[in-house]
Each structure stands twice: as C-alpha cells, then as structure tokens.
C-alpha cells in the first residue's frame, strides 16, 4: 500500500485506503525524516517546535515539528532554511497517532500544484509527502541518517580529489 501510494501519483482510491489504514492503526510505527542546521544541539536537546523566534519559513505553523517521508526532501528543506551551512538529516520512528497533517505543505499543494487536497493526514502523506508532530521530539528518539557538508566544504573535497592528479605533469609537459 505505501509503495504504490508514495511512489506513484496518488489516486482517490489509494488515498482513501491510506486514510482508513491510518485511522485503524494509530499505534503503528512510521519512519519520517527532518533536516536542520548541523550546528544546532539536536543530539542533546531534541527537535523544538517552530516558534516566533525559531521560524525558517514564513508559512511554518507555530508549535509543530515538520517531517518528510523521504530523507532527500528533508535535506532540501534544511538547505533552503539554512543556506551555506552544513545540515544533518535525522530519522525518527513515530506512532501514527502522534502525527497530524502538515497543513503548510497541503496549502502549497492547493496553491502551486492546483490539487484539491483535504487537511487530513492521508492527504498530507500522499500529496505533501510529510506530516507534523505537535510539540517537540526528544533527542532519545532521533538518529542521524546523513551529515551533509556545506557547498563550500563539498567544493573543497572535490578539489582535493582532483588536485593530486592535476599536479602531476603529463609526459612532455612542464609545470610553471
């Protein structure tokens, strides 16, 4: 059910099936992902909900932490929120009953993709590719999925890989 829903264009029938499953299984576990600035003390303090002083997007809903169903999407959102900084992607296993619809992403689906989506968890997962948790998430529940260097760090790594080859002169050539 998940694979056919999340890796293809969602149909009305598939979203309805997901909605029924989510309602019938509030204790089931799902793995979601969140990306943030690597310098933040998430490993010690957990993920804090969006607040007036901690808002990286004008549309972010206060009091919630947003998660994606894909680690790559979590990285994209983190890079938009923290440009030119290293980011870390965290995974967390959450119970279905802890999740609420990510109304921010559903609003985007209505406004930009012109989709007729409802403010339900099933629509949020199927169309917005994510969900939210009210309040924070403790550090004990999180695990690091990926460390993502800054663009500058990635460029430096690429130069180090290329530089040794470039510094060796080819036959018949001399270095100046």
Q: What confidence tens digit (pLDDT) does each residue in 89-126 have?
A: 999 999 999 999 999 899 989 998 898 999 999 999 99
> How many folded domains does the chain comprise?
1
Q: Answer yes or no: is 18 within a domain.
A: yes
What is the CATH number for 158?
3.20.170
Provide the pLDDT for residue 173.
45
The two structure tokens encoding residue 19: 């909605």
Q: Answer yes or no: is 22 within a domain.
A: yes
Helix H or strand E segment including 127: helix 121-127
Q: Answer yes or no: is 143 within a domain.
A: yes
- pLDDT over 60 at 165, yes or no: no
Average pLDDT of the chain, as a whole number: 86
Q: Answer yes or no: is 138 within a domain.
A: yes
Sheet holding 99-100, edge to edge: 99-100, 130-134, 64-68, 29-37, 87-95, 142-148
Question: Domain residues for 70?
Answer: 2-166
Q: Answer yes or no: is 172 within a domain.
A: no
- pTM equals 0.82
- Cβ(102)–Cβ(60) under 8 Å? no
Residue 144: strand pairing partners: 90
Q: Answer yes or no: is 173 within a domain.
A: no
Q: Answer yes or no: is 79 within a domain.
A: yes
Give 87's pLDDT tier (boundaries 50, 70, 90). Answer: very high
Residue from 14, 16, 20, 12 nearest 2 by CA: 14
């Amino acid at each position: 059910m998940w694979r056919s829903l999340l890796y293809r264009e969602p149909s009305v029938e598939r979203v309805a099936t997901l909605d029924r499953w989510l309602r019938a299984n509030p204790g089931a576990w799902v793995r979601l992902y969140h990306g943030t600035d690597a310098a933040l003390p998430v490993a010690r303090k957990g993920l804090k909900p969006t607040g007036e002083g901690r808002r990286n997007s004008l549309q972010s809903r206060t009091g919630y932490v947003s998660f994606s169903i894909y680690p790559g999407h979590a990285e994209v959102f983190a890079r938009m929120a923290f440009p030119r900084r290293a980011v870390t992607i965290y995974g967390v296993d959450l119970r279905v009953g802890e999740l609420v619809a990510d109304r921010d992403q559903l609003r985007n689906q209505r406004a930009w993709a012109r989709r007729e989506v409802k403010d339900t968890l099933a629509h949020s997962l199927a169309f917005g590719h994510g969900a939210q948790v009210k309040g924070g998430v403790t550090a004990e529940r999180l695990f690091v999925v990926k460390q993502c260097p800054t663009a500058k760090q990635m460029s430096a790594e690429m130069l180090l890989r290329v530089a040794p080859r470039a510094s060796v002169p080819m036959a018949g050539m001399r270095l100046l």
